């Protein structure tokens, strides 16, 4: 009996070893395949970006063969239709910048104050309740925001500003700021929450008030994350399409008067693509020139923001 039991044990051990070898082989193959799969995904992302850049560049070069590049970037008149068409991007650039400034003027103070409350003053239960409710704003379709700006915000503003035109840049700028608040608040709150509690406790032990700890300790320590939220908010404002398309009108005015109708770069692209722009025409290629300008403008702003974030970044 003892010999029989020993043989059975040896067989069981041998079976376990064989099973272990087979599982090790499968695991080894999987481990070798996963890096290649992840590398392929990363390459697809890079190639997609390069494809977009090549497409924009190739079509933009064709446009600048017909329109001098100096006239495009310094021209204050944009009249793409007619016999004497002019293509000056400054009216679109001005509209984009002004609408983004108005949006961030609304989003930054409200977003940062909200983040301070959630991070430093709200209880854990209240934070878990308010933060998801705040982020619901980010899920509302932008076309809804556009009609909200046109049919609700603009009539209210006109009661206080009689000179405000039915389509203007002020109303969509304010509504874009409301749309961006959840992004600024959420990212800023995450940055503030990541500040070690030991820093707060040390400041409180030295006699600082809650407000002093917030402004002199927490915010300076989380400034890189807060700036990152500003950058993402500005990028969102610059690239916003439907709100400005609906509420700001299509007047290509080169002005700094926020009560007048203006057009942004994204709204111009929507207008031309939705109209009769025959392929191969100068009007058609102007779309790519404006899109390339928007791409470069956003890229420069992101690079500047990354530089600022690196300079003021705190590591713990």
Write the pLDDT tens digit of every residue in 30-76.
Answer: 777 778 788 888 898 888 888 888 888 888 888 888 888 888 888 88
Average pLDDT over residues 246-269: 86
pLDDT band at 276 (very low <50, low <70, confident <90, very high): low
pLDDT tens sequence across 238-248: 888 888 888 88
pLDDT band at 18 (very low <50, low <70, confident <90, very high): low
Question: Which pLDDT does position 310 carry in this prediction?
Answer: 73
pLDDT tens sequence across 75-117: 888 887 766 778 888 888 898 999 999 999 999 999 999 999 9
pTM: 0.81
In this predicted model, which residue has the larger pLDDT, 24 or 86?
A: 86
Question: Which pLDDT does position 38 carry in this prediction?
Answer: 83
pLDDT tens sequence across 198-246: 888 888 888 878 888 888 888 888 888 888 888 888 888 888 888 888 8
Question: Which pLDDT does position 20 carry in this prediction?
Answer: 59
Question: Which pLDDT does position 121 carry in this prediction?
Answer: 86
Average pLDDT over residues 191-195: 85
Boundaries of every domain in the chain: 2-66, 78-312
The angle at the Cα of 82, spanning 76 to 87, to the nearest 5 degrees, equals: 30
Average pLDDT over residues 16-37: 64
**How far, in Å, CA of 214 to CA of 223, rounded?**
12
Question: Which pLDDT does position 174 carry in this prediction?
Answer: 93
pLDDT band at 6 (very low <50, low <70, confident <90, very high): low
Question: Which pLDDT does position 156 carry in this prediction?
Answer: 92
**How far, in Å, CA of 314 to CA of 218, rounded?**
11
Question: Which pLDDT does position 275 carry in this prediction?
Answer: 66
CATH H-level superfamily of 78-312: MetI-like (1.10.3720.10)
Task: Please give the C-alpha separations between residue 185 and each of 108, 116, 119, 180, 290, in angstroms, as whole numbers.
Answer: 8, 8, 10, 9, 31
**How far, in Å, CA of 312 to CA of 114, rounded?**
22
């Amino acid at each position: 009996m003892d010999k029989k039991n020993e043989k059975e044990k040896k067989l069981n051990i041998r079976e376990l070893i064989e099973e272990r070898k087979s599982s090790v082989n499968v695991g080894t193959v999987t481990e070798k395949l996963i890096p290649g799969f992840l590398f392929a995904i990363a390459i697809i992302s890079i190639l997609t970006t390069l494809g977009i850049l090549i497409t924009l560049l190739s079509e933009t070069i064709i446009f600048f063969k017909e329109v001098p590049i100096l006239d495009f970037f310094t021209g204050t008149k944009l009249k793409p239709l007619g016999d004497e068409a002019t293509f000056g991007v400054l009216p679109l650039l001005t509209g984009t910048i002004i609408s983004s400034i108005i949006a961030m003027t609304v989003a930054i103070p409200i977003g940062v104050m909200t983040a301070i409350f959630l991070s430093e003053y709200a209880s854990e239960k209240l934070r878990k309740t308010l933060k998801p409710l705040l982020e619901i704003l980010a899920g509302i379709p932008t076309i809804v925001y556009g009609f909200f700006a046109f049919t609700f915000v603009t009539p209210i503003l006109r009661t206080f500003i009689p000179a405000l035109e039915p389509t203007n840049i002020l109303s969509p700028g304010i509504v874009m700021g409301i749309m961006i608040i959840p992004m600024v608040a959420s990212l800023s709150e995450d940055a503030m929450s990541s500040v070690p509690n030991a820093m707060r406790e040390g400041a409180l032990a030295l006699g600082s008030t809650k407000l002093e700890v917030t402004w002199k300790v927490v915010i300076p320590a989380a400034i890189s994350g807060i700036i990152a939220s500003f950058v993402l908010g500005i990028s969102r404002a610059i690239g916003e399409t439907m709100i400005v398309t609906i509420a700001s009108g299509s007047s290509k005015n080169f002005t700094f008067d926020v009560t007048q109708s203006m057009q942004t770069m994204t709204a111009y692209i929507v207008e031309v693509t939705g109209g009769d722009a025959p392929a191969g025409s100068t009007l058609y290629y102007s779309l790519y020139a404006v899109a390339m300008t928007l791409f470069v403008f956003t890229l420069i702003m992101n690079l500047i923001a990354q530089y600022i974030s690196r300079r003021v970044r705190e590591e713990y």
